[in-house]
Amino acid sequence: MSIFGSAQKPATGTTGSLFGTSSTPNTGSLFGSATSNTPGGSLIGNTPTQTNTGSLFGSTTPTATGGSLFGSSTSKTGTSLFGATPTANSGGSLFGTTSTSTAGSSLFGANTGSFLFGTKTTAASGGSLFGSTTTTTATGGSLFGATTTTATGGSLFGTTTSTAGGSLFGTSTTAPATGTSLFGSTTTATSTAGSSLFGTTAAPTAGSSLFGSTPATGGSSLFGTTPAAGSSLFGTSNTTTGSTLFGSTAKPATGSLFGSTPGTANSLFSGSTAVFPTTDTKVEKPKDENPLDGEVPKPLVDQFDMLSKKLKENQNLITEYSLNSAEKCLQTDGKLESLKSMMDEERKNMIEFTNKFTTLRESSHKDYLMAEMVNKLQASLDNGTTSGAQECRNYIMSLVSEYTQCIQKYNERINEIYRLIEEALSNNEEKKITENELYENLGKFDQHMRSLSFKVSQIEDDMQSIKMAFMDSQRQKYGRFVQNPFDF
């Protein structure tokens, strides 16, 4: 509940049915309740309309229900400080209807007559198979508008509607619903509600029809209005709502055999909001086109052919290069093996050359030292120094003399042996040598020979030691490559 009424749920447009439609309750407000929905007609009749709550200025008159073959049920309104608005029963019937106008009590007067806030006159007319001629009762002016309700009877071919007067707060009169007709209402335009500071409190409704109806257009309001729409086999067009400070609540499109088109609502604090239909719509998807079926431009085809040729040429070059590279690799392996063998031979030759060079270097160094020694000896001989040569000469001469003495002794022994032999042979008869004497002489000879041999060997050993001592002294003086003078 609010001073300006409760937040309005989007008005739900109800579609027509063979057995009628259900109604929606509305809450009260200081300036009256929100507009009620007008259900469509039915063959058996409608369900009772909603009951509106009370208001300081009276409740909004509910819209009469559509006609029925057997009549329709009535609805009741709430009480008000200024009196209640009477209810108009306008349901048509094949056998006619009995209208009963029941008005609530009022602070300012009775049901009829003129008073400060206007008159409250109720006119009712009976229904007929072909409709009836309805007389509209004009009411006096009022500060809050007229509260007169005019109801018309139902007809097989529809009826004619009327228009309510203006007010500071809008007309509280509900435009009567048109009668039900097989081909819709006879009027193409429904009642238009008057302008108000808070918008119109009445929603003009359109009658039901097999082919639908033209929805009404609501007036402008600070808080907007909620129009209603009629039912149709082929759906309804979206109702255009009035402008409002906080945007308008668009009525969702009703169901249709072929779907419906959503509407949009404008608002100060939001953009256009699309209201989509409650029913699912099937959108046919475009058929997928195969891109291979399209025609390719000639430049692209030429470029593709050129690229294909280049790729084939590159593939051929790759194959040729791979074959040649394999052969070259095999040849390279053979060459590497031969090169390794050649390197081994060269390494051996280098080792041999190194050894020969080392030997040659040592020989050259030896020859160099010998040449230096010869130069020194030659220089010493040129200077007249013969100390070294004289010693060698004296040493040799001593050895020669020793050997000469030994030879002389050996000769003397031999000569004595020969003499003894000759004496023995010449004087066989006179002097004979016995075997013992012979053995004794041979023993002595052998003993002398052994003593002589020992002395000769001893002398030879002494000579070798002397030679070695001499060569050591010479090497210390002239180097290790000094020439041995005894090697002749």
56 and 152 inside one domain: yes
Positive or negative: CA dihedral 367, 372, 376, 379:
positive
119 vs 394, which has greater pLDDT? Answer: 394
3-state secondary structure of 361: helix
Average pLDDT over residues 114-138: 44
3-state secondary structure of 88: coil
Average pLDDT over residues 451-457: 91
pLDDT at 244: 53
302 and 209 inside one domain: no
Mean pLDDT, the chain, whole residue set = 62
Q: Which residues contact 227 (CB under 8 A, 6 or more apart)?
A: 11, 203, 204, 215, 216, 217, 218, 239, 240, 241, 251
Specify the DSSP element, H or E, that contains 123.
strand 122-123
- Whether 279 is covered by a domain: the verdict is no
Crossing angle for the helix pair 435-478 and 387-426, to the nearest 10 degrees: 170
Binned at pLDDT 50, 70 and 90, residue 431 comes out as low
- Whether 286 is covered by a domain: the verdict is no
Binned at pLDDT 50, 70 and 90, residue 361 comes out as very high
If one counts the domains in the chain, the total is 3
- Given a cut of 60, whether residue 173 has pLDDT beyond it is no
- Given a cut of 60, whether residue 335 has pLDDT beyond it is yes
Domain coverage including residue 211:
1-98+109-257
- Whether 146 is covered by a domain: the verdict is yes
282 vs 456, which has greater pLDDT? Answer: 456
Place of tokens 């209603």: 228
218 and 193 inside one domain: yes
Which residue, of 314, 345, 377, is where some domain finishes? Answer: 377
Closest CA to 278 of 248, 226, 238: 238
- Given a cut of 90, whether residue 309 has pLDDT beyond it is yes
Least confident of 205-209, 335-339, 468-472: 205-209
Q: How many whole angstroms separate alpha carbon 138 and alpha carbon 141? A: 10
The answer to whether 96 and 69 have CB atoms below 8 angstroms apart is no
pLDDT digits (tens, 9 = 90+) for 43-63: 444 444 444 444 545 544 444
- Whether 464 is covered by a domain: the verdict is yes
75 vs 458, which has greater pLDDT? Answer: 458
Place of tokens 């040449």: 371
Closest CA to 466 of 388, 374, 392: 392
Half-sphere exposure of 323 (CA within 13 A, CB side): 5
pTM of the predicted model over 0.95: no
3-state secondary structure of 30: coil
338 and 402 inside one domain: no
Select the highest-mean-pLDDT range: 108-112, 331-335, 343-347, 431-435: 343-347
